[in-house]
Amino acid sequence: MGTLICDSKMVLRSACEKIDEQKSDLIQTKNELIKCKSVKLEGVKETVQSEMKSFSDVVKSKCVSSGLSPAKIKMAVHSAMRDEDRAKNFIIFGAEEELECEEEEMSDKDLVKDIFGIVKGGDERSIIKCERVGVKKSTDSKRPIKVTVKDAETVRDVLSKAKILKSFQSPGE
């Protein structure tokens, strides 16, 4: 029995030593893993610090690299303004060149005012300019009238109510 106990003690000591060795190996492996992760974290930290930029820095670099010069910006603004100005115009087709209304001749401006009276309920204050477009070819020709108003909303309003004009006859008829 004494030998059995002695052998058991040796087996237990040997097992304890192996467990201690394995624990040491595990601790060493974990320390290496922590070092590796620390190195990667430092790399990420450096990348973030070097690559992180403010929004304005990114915009500046993109604008410079994309070749947006002040001239190109000016052209874009000019184009947008031209488009906005065009949105304030509409064309009237089929209007007689010289309309005679009962006692006197009717000018293009009077015709447009009458149209606004029908479509907009008499509000012709938003009319800025009326002019015939194109070259007069003959007495029978009907050049279109370009009408410029104060805002694009008026154009949309007039065009949405233009179908009302179909029910009216021109003064010459």
As given in the structure block, the two tokens for residue 125 are 């204050």
Cβ atoms within 10 Å, residue 154: 20
Do 103 and 31 share a structural domain? no
**Does residue 157 sit within a domain?**
yes
Residue 120 burial (10 A CB sphere; 0-12, 13-18, 19+): middle
Do 94 and 42 share a structural domain? no
Do 45 and 91 share a structural domain? no
Closest C-alpha among 150, 165, 164, 163 to residue 87: 150
Residue-range definition of the domain harbouring residue 140: 87-167
- With both helix axes pointing from N to C terminus, report the angle between 152-160 and 108-119 in degrees, rounded to the nearest 10: 70
What 8-state DSSP symbol labels residue 100? E
**Does residue 117 sit within a domain?**
yes
**Does residue 74 sit within a domain?**
no
pLDDT exceeding 70 applies to what percent of the chain? 81
Per-residue confidence (pLDDT) for residue 34, from 0 to 100: 93
> What is the average per-residue pLDDT within 140-147?
88
Compute the C-alpha angle 96/102/104, nearest 5°.
75
Per-residue confidence (pLDDT) for residue 140, from 0 to 100: 78
User: What's the structural domain count of the chain?
Assistant: 2
Do 44 and 96 share a structural domain? no
Q: pLDDT per residue over 1-50, tens digit each?
A: 778 888 888 899 999 999 999 999 999 999 999 999 999 998 888 887 77
Do 101 and 157 share a structural domain? yes
**Does residue 17 sit within a domain?**
yes
Do 163 and 93 share a structural domain? yes
- Nearest-angstrom CA–CA distance, 89 and 128: 10
